Every structure is written in C-alpha cells, then in structure tokens.
C-alpha cells in the first residue's frame, strides 16, 4: 500500500473548528430527538402488526384475504428461464443477480489537528464505483474517469409463492449474497481474463495497477421466503400503519408472523441504540471541537497542559452524556407522555418509600469507646 502525506495550514482553522463543532452539537441533538420519535413509531407499528396480521398459507385463496395484512412463507418458484449478464455470457436461474465491478484507485484520507493543519494520506484500494480525484488536495493521484463495465443488478419478473406472485419491490429485497463461480462465465472480453473468482484486465491481480478492474457476480440462492405485507389480488403491496410507517417485510426461510415481528423489533432496537450512540458521539465531538482554541492554549502549559486537557475531555464527556439523556427524556415526554408520567410516578414512589424506610429505621450511631484513665 503506497502512502504519501502533505500538510497545509488553513487560515481561521480554529474558528472553523468552533463553527463545525456547534453544527455537530445541533445535528447530534436533532438526531437524538428524531430517533426517539422514530423508535416510538416503530414500536406502535409492530404492536399494530401483531394485532392485525393474518397468518395464511401460500395455498390460500387470494380473493379471501385481499386487503388484509398477511404473513405468509414457504418455498417459492422462479418462473423466468434465467437471469443473464450478456456481456460475459453469465446465466443463472435465480430471483436476483448482481454484477460487482471494482476499480483499483487512489483514496484520500485527511486528519486536521487543533492548529488547523491538515495531513493528507493516500492509499490504493479496490473500490466499487469511481472515486473522483479531481478534488484531491495533492496532485499525482489521478483516478480513471470511466470504465467499460458498471455494477448492476437483474431481477426475475415472476416469482411465485403458492397462489401468489411476489411484487417487484419484494423481489428486489431478496439479497444477492452467494458468490457465483467464474466457471459460469462463457464469454471473456478482449484484454480480460479469468483469475480465481474474478474476471479482470489486470496483468497481475496480486500487484494491481491504478485503473485495473476486477469483476465478480453474486446471486440469490434462497429456497424459501417469508413476508408480511398487504394482500391485493394475487400479489402484495406495502401496508401502512396508523402512524404512517410502511411495512413490506421480506426475509429468507419459512417463518411465522411472531418470528418475523420479533426480527423487526430486534432490528428496531439495534437501530435505536446505534443512532443514540451516533448522536452522543456527535455532541461530544462537537463540544471538543468547540473548545479547541482553549485546549490548544492550555496545551502550552508545561507539565499540567495534558492533565488539564484530560480533565476538560472528562467534563465534556459527562456534559455530553447528560445532554443526550435529557434530550431522550424530553423526547419520551413528547412522544409517549402517558408512559413517561407513569415511569416518573413509579420512580418518585420508590424514592418516597426509601425515604420512609430510612426515617422509620434510622441508622444507629457508631458505638463510642472510652479510654481508661
């Protein structure tokens, strides 16, 4: 991996850091607020699904369940003959096929210190899609501006689940995760060759050059599919909950409605905590950037500079945590006031109970000892 670096001093770097820090604090706060509201909508949606969904079999009469929110799963059949990539003679019987085109290119990373000095590092990477090098800070790291082949996906038109057809939206949600063997490649373009699991124009794939291309394919190899959506005619459309959330859930395997709803809830929990963490990090990083002029000055103090800055960071960490928790608490009062009041009442009740117990059974004073004269 080749690396190069340069340094540039930007006027007003410290003040730019202050403005960027303030913006990050605002974005983090807004994200935390939105996340709590979105989480409440997700909870209400899954609760509504649990109450409304009708579990059916693939052999159900479509006319009898039309308009209902349904859960169905089982083996499916792809009626299309095959999906193909004609440029390479690839053909496979599947619901979804993806061509992945990666180009060996320069990638720029930057790191700005408290003085506004920016170090730029350049490395060579395989990257799907072109990286625009026209805005790179250092010349001599030019990426190609076009390639002969692009990444893309093909989807079957007729995927049958019993008496129903999956909608195009549902078919596109069927993941292409299985790598396709290059033995399926029947047509190799001029200046390209098959090397391992790739078709490439590189003369040495172990030591590629900038602009080299490697191409691979992935396809969907599911045998069974399960979904929750609204039945309409012989197919399915997205169902909209009372709080405006659209639901068109598709997953691999045969699952019950309870299993799919549990998967939804687990996904929502992961998203909730991930966004909470991101919001907190934005607020903490924003405040640290905001006080960067002060930490820079303090850093010049011999011996104590690092200790004081560490103290600053600890205080900012606590303040950021407190602000994040306050935003979440206020958001819950906004989006779930009844539950918030009940939780507050329970907490107050526990506090009163502890106070009463301590008052009724005061702590005995430690025994006094006397010394013999």
Which domain covers residue 295, as residue numbers?
5-43+271-359
Instruction: State yes or no: pLDDT of 7 exceeds 70.
Output: no
Nearest to 68 by CA among 307, 204, 293, 230: 230
Per DSSP, 187 falls in state -
Whether 306 is in a domain gets the answer: yes
Q: Are residues 346 and 292 in the same domain?
A: yes
Q: Are residues 22 and 85 in the same domain?
A: no
Q: Are residues 216 and 86 in the same domain?
A: yes
Q: Which two tokens stand for residue 7?
A: 């340094």
Whether 55 is in a domain gets the answer: no
Collapsed DSSP state (helix, strand, coil) of residue 291: coil
Task: Report pLDDT for 102.
Answer: 98
CA distance 100 to 304: 54
Rounded average pLDDT over 83-95: 96
- For the ranges 59-63, 80-84, 272-276, 368-372, the lowest mean pLDDT is seen at 368-372
CA distance 86 to 102: 19
Cα 310 from chain centroid? 31
Q: Are residues 36 and 146 in the same domain?
A: no
CA distance 12 to 20: 12
Task: Report pLDDT for 336.
Answer: 75
Task: Report pLDDT for 27.
Answer: 96
Q: Are residues 30 and 148 in the same domain?
A: no
Instruction: State yes or no: pLDDT of 373 exceeds 50.
Output: no
Residue ending a domain, choose from 222, 242, 258: 222
Q: Domain total for the chain?
A: 2
Instruction: State yes or no: pLDDT of 294 exceeds 90.
Output: no
CA distance 261 to 46: 7
Nearest to 250 by CA among 277, 228, 219, 222: 228
CA distance 316 to 281: 11
Q: Are residues 39 and 110 in the same domain?
A: no
Task: Report pLDDT for 370.
Answer: 55
Task: Report pLDDT for 4.
Answer: 40
Instruction: State yes or no: pLDDT of 41 exceeds 90.
Output: yes
Query: What is the 3-state secondary structure of 207-256?
Result: CCCCCCEEEEEEECCCCEEEEEEEEECCEEECEECCCCCEECEEEECCCC
Nearest to 143 by CA among 163, 155, 159, 126: 126
Task: Report pLDDT for 280.
Answer: 96
Nearest to 7 by CA among 114, 108, 116, 106: 116
Whether 321 is in a domain gets the answer: yes
Rounded average pLDDT over 200-207: 95
**pLDDT tens string 305-323:** 677 777 888 889 999 999 9
CA distance 340 to 348: 12
| More confidently predicted of 350 and 82 | 82
Q: Are residues 90 and 218 in the same domain?
A: yes
Whether 343 is in a domain gets the answer: yes
Task: Report pLDDT for 114.
Answer: 59
Q: Are residues 198 and 107 in the same domain?
A: yes
Q: Are residues 217 and 88 in the same domain?
A: yes
**pLDDT tens string 108-164:** 998 876 566 778 999 999 999 999 999 898 889 999 999 999 999 999 999 999 999
Whether 186 is in a domain gets the answer: yes
Q: Are residues 132 and 179 in the same domain?
A: yes
Residue 1 confidence class, pLDDT cut points 50, 70, 90: very low
pTM: 0.78
Whether 240 is in a domain gets the answer: no
Q: Which residues contact 8 (CB under 8 A, 6 or more apart)?
A: 117, 118, 137
Residue ending a domain, choose from 222, 246, 261: 222
Q: Are residues 87 and 215 in the same domain?
A: yes
Task: Report pLDDT for 116.
Answer: 62
Whether 113 is in a domain gets the answer: yes
Q: Are 143 and 130 in contact (CB under 8 A)?
A: yes
Q: Are residues 155 and 27 in the same domain?
A: no
* Residue 155 backbone dihedrals phi, psi, to 5 degrees: -130, 145
What does pLDDT average to over the chain? 88
Task: Report pLDDT for 329.
Answer: 87
Q: For residue 337, how many other CB atoms are within 10 A of its CB?
A: 10
Phi-psi category of residue 74: left, alpha or beta, with phi > 0 → left and psi -120 to 50 → alpha:
left
**pLDDT tens string 206-238:** 999 999 999 999 999 999 999 999 999 999 999
Nearest to 71 by CA among 196, 204, 247, 200: 247
């Amino acid at each position: 991996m080749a690396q190069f670096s340069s340094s540039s001093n930007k006027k007003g770097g410290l003040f730019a850091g202050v403005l960027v820090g303030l913006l990050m604090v605002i974005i983090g706060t807004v994200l935390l607020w939105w996340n709590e509201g979105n989480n409440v909508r997700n909870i209400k949606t899954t609760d509504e699904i649990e109450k409304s969904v009708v579990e059916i079999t693939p052999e159900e009469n479509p006319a009898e369940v039309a308009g209902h929110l349904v859960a169905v799963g089982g083996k499916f059949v792809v009626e299309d003959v095959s999906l193909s990539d004609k440029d390479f003679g690839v053909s496979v019987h599947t619901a979804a096929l993806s061509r992945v085109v990666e180009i060996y290119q320069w990638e720029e990373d930057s790191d700005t210190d408290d003085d506004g000095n920016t170090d730029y590092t350049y490395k060579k990477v395989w990257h799907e899609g072109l990286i625009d090098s026209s805005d790179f800070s250092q010349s001599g790291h030019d990426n190609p501006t076009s390639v002969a082949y692009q990444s893309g996906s093909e989807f079957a038109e007729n995927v049958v689940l019993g008496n129903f057809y999956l909608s195009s939206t549902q078919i596109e949600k069927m993941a292409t995760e299985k790598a396709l063997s290059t033995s399926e490649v029947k047509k190799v373009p001029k200046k390209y060759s098959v090397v391992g699991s790739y078709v490439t124009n590189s003369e040495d794939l172990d030591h590629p050059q900038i602009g080299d291309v490697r191409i691979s394919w992935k396809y969907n190899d599911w045998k069974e599919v399960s979904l929750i959506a609204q039945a309409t005619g012989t197919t399915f459309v997205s169902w909209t909950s009372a709080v405006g959330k659209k639901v068109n859930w598709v997953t691999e395997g045969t699952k019950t409605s309870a299993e799919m709803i549990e998967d939804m809830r687990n996904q929502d929990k992961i998203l909730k905590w991930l966004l909470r963490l991101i919001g907190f990090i934005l607020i903490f990083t924003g405040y640290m950037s905001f006080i960067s002029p002060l930490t820079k000055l303090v850093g010049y103090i011999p011996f104590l500079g690092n200790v004081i800055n560490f103290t600053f960071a600890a205080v900012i960490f606590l303040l950021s945590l407190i602000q994040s928790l306050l935003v979440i608490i206020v958001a819950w009062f906004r989006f779930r006031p009844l539950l918030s009041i009940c939780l507050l009442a329970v907490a107050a009740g526990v506090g009163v109970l502890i106070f009463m117990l301590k008052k009724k059974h005061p702590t005995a004073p430690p025994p006094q000892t006397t010394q013999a004269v």
